[in-house]
Amino acid sequence: MPGARSKPAKRTKKLLSEENVLALGRKHFSEDFPNPERRGCPPIDQIRLLADNPRKAKESILNHVASCSPCYRDYSRFLQARKGKLRSKPVRHK
């Protein structure tokens, strides 16, 4: 109808779900600590060990990963590979 007021659009606020929190956490560790010169970075084998054998990992490596985005990205890559390996294992039937 001419001149009639249109219905105001509903205000919908996007809620932050647990998945979004995890995504933000991932983004934080992989982007917020740039270290282009890779100062103080441990050898890549140590990061791979952290992903493949967490119980044998050194605490110093873990502390470094928490504050170095390039190392976190390496760690994330190894963890993704580990995840793929774990999921591709054949299921044993009794």
Residues that bind other proteins (CB under 8 A): 13, 15-18, 20-22, 24-29, 32, 50, 54-55, 57, 59, 62-63, 65-66, 75-76, 79-80, 83, 86-87
Residues 6 or more apart whose Cβ sits within 8 Å of residue 56: 49
One-letter amino acid of 13: K
- What are the φ/ψ torsions at residue 67 (nearest 5 degrees)? -130, 25
Between 38 and 80, name the residue whose CB sits nearer to other proteins: 80
Between 3 and 19, name the residue whose CB sits nearer to other proteins: 19
| Least Å from the CB of residue 20 to other proteins | 7
Joined together, the tokens standing for residue 55 give 């119980």
